[in-house]
Structure 1
Amino acid sequence: MSETRYKRSQAERKTETRARLIDAAAELFARKGFHAVSAEAVAASAGRTTGALYSHYGGKEGLLLALLEVWKERTAAELTAELAGSSDPAAHFGAMWGSITRPRADRGDAWLLLEMELWLHGARSPLVGSRLAERYAQIRTQLGEGLADWAAATGTSLPRPPEETGALVLGVLLGCALQHRLDPHGIPDELVVDALRTLLGLDDLPDKDRP
């Protein structure tokens, strides 16, 4: 094997190992909780050694911090993608809501469970908490920018600055999702979509001005 091919295969193995550890941690932390899961359990679920976990992430805490970054990118991408190419973001609110609350074939309802697990650990750990706060700030910014782009393209004014709007939209989605997880019938999809429409001031527009 040439040196170039060897280096490439080595890099591919490292990438695969990191991805397997991240996916295993996401599933186990969401299902059992961060403190109830050992580094050994994550490594075993990923089909890797505990030494590999420590080599790549320095331990379970480092793995959680890496998971925060991955989850931030996935969350922002999924939310902002729903706004792309739409003349009316409200038409996509149902899909945004579903991306948070509806089980996925690949990870069930781990998204919301992991979100809450990360928040709990971040509230108790200054190091994780500061990274989690940065993550939320970036999600708010990206979501707000997506809404600002829509407003500019349609000639609509956002009722608040973009980042504040992003914060409120994210707050409605996560806050309602918490309640929906325990009482789905108490938080129907229509209620959430209507709340987001109201938040953006779409209900106050004359019919001729609605996007």
Structure 2
Amino acid sequence: MATRREHTSHESSERILSAAAELFAEKGYRQTTFAAVAERSGISRGSIPWHFGSKEGLLLAVLERSVHLISAGLAEEPAGTEEVEASFDRITEGAHALWALPTTKLFATLLVEALEPNSPIHGRYAEIHHTLRAHCRRQLEQLPLLPGVSAEALSAAIIGAGIGIHQQWLLAPDRVDPEQALAALRAMVVALVPPVRK
């Protein structure tokens, strides 16, 4: 059973992580300071390195938390071949749920950071994409895809398109409708599944 001190420490860590995720998303990694995180979280500046060691440690913890949130939010109910529409609904709902997460903007903001040589967040960022592809692939593996179309390749295409749609929406929300774009993506992917004969 957790002691009161451990509970308080966990609560402080969560407040710091939430504040840091918001600030990294708004300002980027380099422009975010411990002072800003302390002000946003209401936790003393000195407590941040005590919890996470360094700014890089804080960033890695934020991404680790994001991976956990994404994994927890994705449904794991693969459909049978007679439920093609339901299966694609789960895939697109999972993508839409991701875009609605508070940390979604964080992923777009940190993309350039993750692509830099020797980036400390490259591995975590790749893990986020892997988690999304794996969820999508498990749904697709239940469906009778056209010959030459693998669930692995199609999951990469779907997740890549979904991320691209979201990034375009972040850059120009008045010009891109993510709901319509995801609906178009869904229609294109459904077309790759042969009709199920009963």
TM-score bucket (shorter structure): 0.7 to 0.9
Task: Give the Cα separation in 1 of the matches to 2:158 and 2:26.
Answer: 27
Task: Give the Cα separation in 1 of the matches to 2:152 and 2:42.
Answer: 41
**Cα 1:158/1:15, change in 2 over 3 Å:** farther
1:138 equivalenced with 2:131 (yes/no): yes
Q: Which residue of 1 aligns with 2:96?
A: 98
The percentage of aligned residue pairs carrying the same residue is 24
1:190 equivalenced with 2:177 (yes/no): no
* Structure 1 unaligned spans of 5+: none
More helix by share: 1
* Structure 2 unaligned spans of 5+: none
What is the CA deviation profile of residues 137-188 of structure 1, one whole-angstrom value per residue up to 9, with x for unaligned ones?
A: 233223322433xx1xxxx224544443332221111011111221454445
- Equivalent residue runs for 1:1-211 within 5 Å: 8-78=3-73, 80-81=74-75, 84=77, 87=83, 88-92=86-90, 95-101=93-99, 107=102, 111-124=103-116, 125-148=118-141, 151=142, 156-159=143-146, 160-181=149-170, 182-187=172-177, 189-199=179-189, 202-205=190-193, 207=195, 209=196
Moved more, 22-31 or 190-199: 190-199
Instruction: State the TM-score, normalized to the length of structure 2.
Output: 0.78
TM-aligned CA deviation for residue 90 of structure 1: 2.6
**Cα 1:14/1:173, change in 2 over 3 Å:** same
Tell me the amino acid that sits aligned with residue 184 of structure 2: D
Tell me the amino acid that sits aligned with residue 91 of structure 1: D
TM-aligned CA deviation for residue 204 of structure 1: 4.7
**Cα 1:210/1:49, change in 2 over 3 Å:** farther
- Tell me if structure 2 keeps the 8 A contact 1:172–1:196: no
Instruction: State the TM-score, normalized to the length of structure 1.
Output: 0.74
Task: Give the Cα separation in 1 of the matches to 2:78 and 2:158.
Answer: 19
Bigger relative contact order, structure 1 or 2 (CA pairs below 8 A, ≥6 apart)? 2
Tell me the amino acid that sits aligned with residue 12 of structure 1: H
SS at the partner of 1:131?
helix
